[in-house]
Amino acid sequence: MNNKNTGIIATVAAVLLCGCPGLFLCLFGGITATGNGTFNNASLSPSVGFALVCLSLILILIPVVVGFFTLRKKPEASTPSSPNEPLPPAS
């Protein structure tokens, strides 16, 4: 991704597709882990809530990683200042 705009678009897409569902899943998983979660009038196991919280943390981490790798400043390739300068002797 050479263009900064492409990195911004990728980060926004990752936030919308992974970050927002991850936050809602974290909320639902937290409620379920405390023992208050129900689905179709049946109580869910707290272990389901803990699994949902772990899954949501992965989903929340994806936009952070995408943003880091697409928006970071890449190091410049180091080249000798002048091609006519001799290289130092190897030790």
pLDDT tens per residue across span 59-83: 999 999 999 998 887 776 665 556 6
Rounded Cα distance between 59 and 49, Å, is: 15
49 within 8 A of 31, measured Cβ to Cβ? yes
- The torsion angles phi and psi of 72, rounded to 5 degrees, stand at -75, 160
Mean pLDDT, range 10-39, rounded to an integer:
92
Instruction: State the pLDDT at residue 1.
Output: 46
Instruction: State the pLDDT at residue 12.
Output: 95
Mean pLDDT, range 33-61, rounded to an integer:
91
| Percentage of residues in the chain having pLDDT higher than 70 | 89
48 within 8 A of 36, measured Cβ to Cβ? no
Mean pLDDT, range 3-21, rounded to an integer:
92
Q: Where are the domains of the chain?
A: 21-71
Rounded Cα distance between 33 and 45, Å, is: 7
